[in-house]
Amino acid sequence: MCIRKPPFPRLLLNNVSCMRNAQHVLRHVNVSLHNGSALVLTGANGSGKTTFLCMLAGFSRPSAGEILWNGHNIQDSGIFHQYKLKLNWLSLKDAITDRFTVLENVQWFELLEGKYGKALPALELMGLGRLAKEKPKMLSMGQRKRVQLAMLIVDRPIWLLDEPSVALDDEGVKLLEYIISEHRKNGGIVIVATHLPIEIHDSMLLRLPPRFPRRMTFFDMLDRSYIM
């Protein structure tokens, strides 16, 4: 009988901890991510969701443990250069410039990837075809978020999404869910930090514990007339 070894995860967080301001934000996190998988991070404000994504992006180093990509530590200099080219980062602060039109912003991103021809269809999918030639300052917050989603479609295998559904309407959230699902079908990995419900089929959920557990909730205080 031939017993096959399970495949090595594409991304592995091995007993990872992270400190900020000399205090532990994350402790002993273990996560394995294979091609096509998704991880949803939830937790109270300040629990460390963005810190988690920043570590995966290589912006901050784990204080203990290691993050392995294809079995190599992402902090190794030769590896980090290759690894960061696989990442696509979406956060509340976008990188859209008013010097370019909406279309040129997405095309610029595409050009960096050495790709061509996906920018306009991506904007059309996001319902922004008619605004393609406008300057981004003409856009609403939700429309800017849709431009960011169009940039994601241009495609790198690992998506790190910090609160991707903020400012999106119901249709925008459905589009977000759709592109996440298509990306995963193509073997991509998605890690999402969110407070808002997003439907991501068959995803792993990591709920980070609160950093400063409260003895009393806001509603307890209301009940006991501490405030008002």
Ligand X SMILES: Nc1ncnc2c1ncn2[C@@H]1O[C@H](COP(=O)(O)OP(=O)(O)OP(=O)(O)O)[C@@H](O)[C@H]1O
Output 26 or 128, the one with its CB closest to ligand X.
26
Minimum CB–partner distance for residue 162 and ligand X (Å): 7
Q: Is the dihedral of CA 44, 50, 53, 58 positive or negative?
A: negative
Phi, psi of 153 (to 5 degrees): -60, -30
Chosen residue from 29, 31, 33, 50 binding ligand X by CB under 6 A: 50
Minimum CB–partner distance for residue 50 and ligand X (Å): 3
Q: Is residue 96 close enough to count as binding ligand X by CB under 6 A?
A: no
Contacts for 124 with CB less than 8 Å, ≥ 6 apart: none
Q: Is residue 122 close enough to count as binding ligand X by CB under 6 A?
A: no
Minimum CB–partner distance for residue 21 and ligand X (Å): 4
Options 30-38, 49-57, 107-115, 165-173: segment touching ligand X (CB under 6 A): 49-57
Options 1-9, 18-26, 124-132, 179-187: segment touching ligand X (CB under 6 A): 18-26
Q: Is residue 21 close enough to count as binding ligand X by CB under 6 A?
A: yes
Site residues for ligand X per CB under 6 A: 20-21, 25, 43, 45-51, 211
